[in-house]
Amino acid sequence: MAAGRGKEGTEEACERKKEPEEKDEDEEEDSGEEEDDSDDDDDESSEMVGYLEDPPTEEERRLLTRRLFPSKVGGRPAWLIPKNLPTAVPGDLACSACARPLRFLLQVYASRGEHRPGAFHRVLHVFVCTSCQPNEVKVFRAQLARENPFYSSEVPNAKKIAKELKKTGDKDLDLEALCCQDCGLTREAGAESSSCTDCQRCTRVNEPFAVFQEREISTSGATVPDEEDQAEEVAGPDVKGYRPGAGNTSGDADAEEDSTVEEVFTEGVAAEAGEAGGKTQQDLVADADAAIASAKAKGASEAMLDKLREYRTKVSENADGAIDLTEQNVFDEWSKENGESDDFFSKFNRYSLENKGHMLRYAFGGEPLWFCGPRRLLKDPPPCQRCGGARVFELQVQAQLISLLGGSHCADRLDFGTICVYTCAESCDPLEGTHTYAEEYGYVQPEANDAWLPKA
């Protein structure tokens, strides 16, 4: 696997810190081949992917605390700056749509120190609302110069920090004064309890705290599939009419999409949904076979192929043609929307195959890789609230994370196709009197059709 422990080094984007002399347990593995000069000229074009490490041991957990500038999923946030945190519910950490408490999903350490000294340490903290389906999201950016009141300008010594933490019973007094001891999110100012209101509720009703499993994110260079296949695709008929609503109203981008739609279906499947009932069983099986073959040719994931095979088995076993008509229609629509005619989904699938198991894609200043055609962000993200400058794409959290984290109360409420994070192009510094944590822009592209899309 490409995953491994590539986190030290690689490059500016996701590396933990800067010093070549840094000592680390892993040092024999990355003798610097990744941090050579190849990306000096244009670091913004280099693309990274992130993978989940195994759940940490108690010892390793100490390495996921703020003094070691981790990139991680779940657990309690390792707030970069233990001061002026985003405010507790009903403030910053409440969902903008439903006002319920947000949950800490992940954080990524992504220095921009070479571009802005004030962003030597730079962390994006990502929160989701699991009450909203698909999830709502909020992102907060915190950054510090190398010389700052909170951390030494020297490279942190992991062993020493872990030892200290162990000695103090894993206490971080600065954060403890501000945060819930259970979920790590900000407590109400002046609150008596050391738990937030929501965690107190969980305790009362005997529900687990809303915390995702803690896992370190390791990064490595992305493999970007070439786009030859796409160029060869031929123009086909307009299938817009079969789309169930979402996102087919916009201008240019959609027109473009139409011109590359490929017709791979038999006449039968392309027929109006209402006519599907007239098909013979053989027609249905043939349709399913065609869909499977085409999906394979386009590099669909195993999970997606399983869905298609499942459907084929169903129709082939149904000798009297009594397949549920609703299901038939759902299949037709799904195939039209995602399996075949959606270049975006095909591209997403190819990328996923090339970077198996990744859950994060990082490409500062690049383009998002949309999960599917419908509900892309077709306009510019809103400008930075702090400096008014433009925001650029920085990273996306992939739906693969949902299955990687699956099984917990909290993770089962995750629902998104991809979460795209856009940040201030300049990584502007906080001005006197402004929030220490700058809210950035997160855009959730939902899954197109829950009934048929694979969960992995």
**Contact between 126 and Zn ion per CB under 5 A:** no
Nearer to Zn ion, 212 or 348 (CB): 212
State the Cα–Cα distance between residues 168 and 159, nearest whole angstrom.
14
Nearer to Zn ion, 193 or 280 (CB): 193
Q: What are phi and psi of 169, to 5 degrees?
A: 70, 35
Q: Return the residue of 129, 261, 405, 411 that touches Zn ion, per CB under 5 A.
A: 129
The footprint of Zn ion on residues 368-387 (CB under 5 A) is 384, 386-387
Nearer to Zn ion, 17 or 100 (CB): 100
**Contact between 97 and Zn ion per CB under 5 A:** yes
Question: DSSP of 346-395, one letter per residue?
Answer: HHHHHHHHHTTT--EEE-TTS----SSSTT---SPPPPPTTT-PPEEEEE
**Contact between 182 and Zn ion per CB under 5 A:** yes
Stretches 103-111, 284-292, 398-406, 417-425: which one binds Zn ion (CB under 5 A)?
Answer: 417-425
**Contact between 196 and Zn ion per CB under 5 A:** yes
**Contact between 139 and Zn ion per CB under 5 A:** no
C-beta separation of 300 from 256 below 8 A: no
Nearer to Zn ion, 63 or 95 (CB): 95
DSSP bridge partners of 440: 139
Stretches 71-79, 136-144, 338-346, 355-363: which one binds Zn ion (CB under 5 A)?
Answer: 136-144
Q: Return the residue of 8, 11, 136, 440 that touches Zn ion, per CB under 5 A.
A: 136
DSSP bridge partners of 393: 422
Which positions ≥6 away from 304 have C-beta within 8 Å? 295, 339, 349, 453, 454
Report which residue type is found at 366.
Answer: G
CA atoms within 13 A on the CB side of 78: 26
Q: Return the residue of 13, 85, 93, 183 that touches Zn ion, per CB under 5 A.
A: 183
C-beta separation of 353 from 323 below 8 A: no
**Contact between 253 and Zn ion per CB under 5 A:** no
CB of 106 to Zn ion, least distance (A): 17
C-beta separation of 441 from 381 below 8 A: yes
Q: Which x/- pattern, by CB under 5 A, does the window 423-452 give for Zn ion?
A: -x---x------------------------
Question: Over the Cα atoms of the chain, what is R_g?
Answer: 24
Stretches 92-100, 288-296, 330-338, 346-354: which one binds Zn ion (CB under 5 A)?
Answer: 92-100
CA distances in angstroms from 378 to 29, 373, 397, 400, listed in the order given: 42, 11, 18, 23
Q: Return the residue of 52, 88, 94, 132 that touches Zn ion, per CB under 5 A.
A: 132
Nearer to Zn ion, 97 or 253 (CB): 97
Q: Binding residues for Zn ion, per CB under 5 A?
A: 95, 97-98, 129, 131-132, 136, 180, 182-183, 196, 199, 384, 386-387, 389, 424, 428
